[in-house]
C-alpha cells in the first residue's frame, strides 16, 4: 500500500474509534473531560517512560490509561468535596499537565519525548515504523495498535449496549435497575483513555479532541436514534480524515491540523443544513409547527 494510503487509513481508524466513543461523551455531557484526559495522558506517557526507559506501545498504553483514570478519579473526588465540576476538571488537568511538562524538561529531557511532538502529532512518520503480522504482511505499528483499540471499543459498546444507553440517558433509572453506574463511569473513562493514548502518538492531542467531540456533535444534530448516531459519527470521523488529508496536501501544511479543520467544516455544514435541528430548517419552518415542536 502506498504512503498516503497508510496515513489516511490510520487517521480513519482514529476517526472511527473516536467517533464511537464521542457519541457517549456528548450524551453524558462530558465533552470537556476529553480535553482534560487528552492533556493528562502526557503525564502517563512520561511516567511510563521513566519507569521502563523506553517509548514502547504497551508501556505507553498502561501509563496513559493510568493517567486517564487518575484524572477521572481526582475530578470525581473534588466534585464530591463540593468543588464545581468544571472547576475541578480545570484544576486537575492543568496541574497534572504541568507536572508532565516539568518532568519532561528536567529529568527525562529525551529526544523521543517532546511536548511539541506529543501535542501536534507527527502522522507523517507513521508509515516508517512497521511491524510484521502473519497473513497480512508488514503494517505500521501505530496502525496495528489503532486497529486493536477499535476492536476493543466496538466490543465494549456492543457487549454493554443496553447498559451504555440507560446510564447515558437516565442515570437515576439505571441505578434503580441495579446497573453499577459508577463502574460504568470508570469503564467509560478507561475506554476514553485507551482511545486517546493510542491516537495520541499518531495524530496528537488536539486532533484527538476534535475527533472525539465534533463528529459526534454533528451526528447529534442529524438524528434522535442512538444506533444511527453511532454510525453517522464514525462515518463523519472517516470522512474528515479523508477531507483533511486532501486539504493538507493542497495547502502543504499540518495533516492533523487540517483534519481538525475538516471535522469543524462537517459540523458547520450540519449546523446550517440539518433537516431537524439545523439553522435554516428552523428559519423556514412554519411558526405554528415550531411552537408545536418546542412544546
Partner 1 sequence: MLSNLLHINTVWVMASTMILGIAAGGIGCLAYWKRQNLMSDALSHAALPGVVVAFLIIQEKNLLLLVIGAALSALLGAFFIQWFTSASRITEDTAMGMTLSVFYGVGVMLLAIANRSPGGNQSGLNNFIYGQAAAMVRSDVITMVVLAAIVIFIIFIAFKEWKLFLFDPDFAKGIGLSIRGMNVLYTIVLVTTIVIGIQAVGVILMAAMLIIPSVSARYWTHSFKMMILLSSVIGGISGAFGTWVSSTGSGLPTGPFIVLTSAAIFAISLFFGKEHGIVIRYIQFKMQQRSSQLDQQVMTGRGGRSQ
Write out the residues near partner 1 by the rule CB under 8 A: 26, 29-32, 34-35, 39, 78, 81-84, 86-87, 89-91, 94-95, 97-99, 101-102, 105-106, 115-116, 119-120, 206-207, 209-210, 212-214, 217, 220-221, 248, 251-254, 256-261, 263-264, 267, 271, 277-279, 282
Beta strands, E only, the chain: 130-133, 137-140
Which residues lie closer than 8 Å to 289 by C-beta, 6 or more apart?
none
- If you compute the radius of gyration of the chain from its CA atoms, what whole number of angstroms results? 20
> CA–CA separation, 154 vs 21, rounded Å?
9
Q: Alpha helices of 122-254 — where are they, by DSSP H?
A: 141-159, 161-169, 171-176, 181-203, 205-222, 226-251
Grid cell, residue 236, equals: 463523519
Distance CA 276, CA 223 (A): 8
- In angstroms, what is the minimal distance from the CB of 156 to partner 1? 22
Compute the Cα dihedral for 42, 44, 47, 52 and give only its sign: negative
Measure the CA–CA gap between 210 and 233, rounded to whole angstroms: 12
Question: Look-up: residue for cell 472525539?
Answer: 212
Place of cell 502526557: 42
Q: Supply 226's cell numbers.
A: 442512538
Residue (200 or 220) nearer to partner 1, CB: 220
The residue length of the chain stands at 295
- Cα 104 to Cα 117: distance, rounded to the nearest angstrom: 12
Amino acid at each position: 500500500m502506498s504512503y498516503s494510503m497508510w496515513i489516511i487509513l490510520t487517521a480513519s481508524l482514529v476517526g472511527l474509534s473516536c467517533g464511537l466513543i464521542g457519541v457517549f461523551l456528548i450524551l453524558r455531557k462530558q465533552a470537556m473531560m476529553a480535553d482534560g484526559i487528552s492533556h493528562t495522558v502526557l503525564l502517563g506517557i512520561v511516567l511510563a517512560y521513566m519507569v521502563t526507559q523506553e517509548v514502547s506501545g504497551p508501556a505507553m498504553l498502561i501509563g496513559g490509561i493510568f493517567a486517564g483514570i487518575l484524572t477521572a478519579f481526582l475530578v470525581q473526588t473534588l466534585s464530591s468535596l463540593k468543588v464545581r465540576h468544571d472547576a475541578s476538571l480545570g484544576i486537575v488537568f492543568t496541574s497534572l499537565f504541568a507536572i508532565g511538562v516539568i518532568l519532561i524538561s528536567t529529568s527525562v529531557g529525551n529526544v523521543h519525548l517532546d511536548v511539541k511532538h506529543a501535542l501536534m502529532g507527527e502522522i507523517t512518520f507513521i508509515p516508517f515504523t512497521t511491524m510484521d503480522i502473519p497473513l497480512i504482511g508488514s503494517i505500521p505499528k501505530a496502525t496495528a495498535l489503532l486497529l486493536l483499540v477499535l476492536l476493543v471499543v466496538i466490543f465494549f459498546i456492543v457487549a454493554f449496549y443496553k447498559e451504555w444507553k440507560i446510564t447515558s440517558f437516565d442515570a437515576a433509572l439505571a441505578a434503580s435497575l441495579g446497573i453499577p453506574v459508577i463502574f460504568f463511569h470508570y469503564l467509560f473513562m478507561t475506554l476514553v483513555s485507551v482511545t486517546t493514548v493510542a491516537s495520541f502518538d499518531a495524530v496528537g492531542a488536539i486532533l484527538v479532541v476534535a475527533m472525539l467531540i465534533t463528529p459526534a456533535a454533528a451526528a447529534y444534530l442529524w438524528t434522535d436514534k442512538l444506533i444511527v448516531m453511532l454510525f453517522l459519527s464514525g462515518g463523519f470521523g472517516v470522512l474528515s480524515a479523508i477531507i483533511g488529508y486532501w486539504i493538507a496536501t493542497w495547502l502543504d501544511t499540518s495533516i492533523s491540523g487540517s483534519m481538525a479543520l475538516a471535522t469543524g467544516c462537517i459540523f458547520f455544514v450540519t449546523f446550517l443544513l440539518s433537516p431537524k435541528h439545523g439553522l435554516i430548517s428552523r428559519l423556514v419552518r412554519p411558526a405554528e409547527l415550531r411552537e408545536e415542536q418546542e412544546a
